[in-house]
Amino acid sequence: IEPITVGIAIGAASVITGYLSYQDLYCRFAECCGKHRPLNATALKLDLEEKLFGQHLAAEVIVKALTGFRSNNNPKKPLTLSLHGWAGTGKNFVSQIVAENLYAKGLKSNFVHLFVSTLHFPHEQHIKLYQDQLQRWIRGNVSACASSVFIFDEMDKLHPGVIDAIKPFLDYYEQVDGVSYRKAIFIFLSNAGGDLITKTALEFWRAGRKREDIQLKDLEHALSVGVFNNKHSGLWRSGLIYKRLIDYFIPFLPLEYTHVKMCVRAEMKARGSAIDEDVVTRVAEEMTFYPKGEKIFSDRGCKTVQSRLDFQFLDV
Ligand X SMILES: Nc1ncnc2c1ncn2[C@@H]1O[C@H](COP(=O)(O)OP(=O)(O)OP(=O)(O)O)[C@@H](O)[C@H]1O
CB of 51 to ligand X, least distance (A): 6
Partnered with residue 150 across adjacent β-strands are: 113, 186
Please, which residue, 85 or 234, has the CB nearer to ligand X? Answer: 85
Strand pairing class (289-290; 297-298): antiparallel
Contact 164/218 with Cβ under 8 angstroms?
Answer: no
| Residue ranges at the known binding site | 85-92
3-class SS at 199? helix
CB of 140 to ligand X, least distance (A): 27
E strands present in the chain: 79-84, 112-116, 149-153, 185-190, 248-251, 289-290, 297-298
Please, which residue, 77 or 120, has the CB nearer to ligand X? Answer: 120
CB of 257 to ligand X, least distance (A): 13
Interatomic CA distance for residues 70 and 79, integer angstroms? 9
Backbone angles phi, psi at 127, to 5 degrees: -50, -45
Backbone angles phi, psi at 290, to 5 degrees: -135, 170
CB of 21 to ligand X, least distance (A): 39
Partnered with residue 188 across adjacent β-strands are: 82, 152
Q: Which has the closest alpha carbon to 303: 24, 91, 104?
A: 91
Interatomic CA distance for residues 61 and 247, integer angstroms? 11
Please, which residue, 147 or 230, has the CB nearer to ligand X? Answer: 230
CB of 86 to ligand X, least distance (A): 7
| Residue ranges at the known binding site for ATP | 85-92
Q: Which has the closest alpha carbon to 250: 220, 273, 213?
A: 220
- The CA radius of gyration of the chain, in Å to the nearest whole number, is 23
3-class SS at 236? coil
For 106, left (φ over 0), alpha (ψ -120 to 50), or beta?
A: left
Contact residues for ligand X (CB under 6 A)?
Answer: 52-55, 85, 87-93, 191, 255, 263, 301-303
CB of 99 to ligand X, least distance (A): 13
CB of 244 to ligand X, least distance (A): 25
Interatomic CA distance for residues 199 and 88, integer angstroms? 17
Please, which residue, 78 or 194, has the CB nearer to ligand X? Answer: 194
Backbone angles phi, psi at 174, to 5 degrees: -70, -40
Please, which residue, 61 or 255, has the CB nearer to ligand X? Answer: 255
Contact 18/79 with Cβ under 8 angstroms?
Answer: no
CB of 28 to ligand X, least distance (A): 30
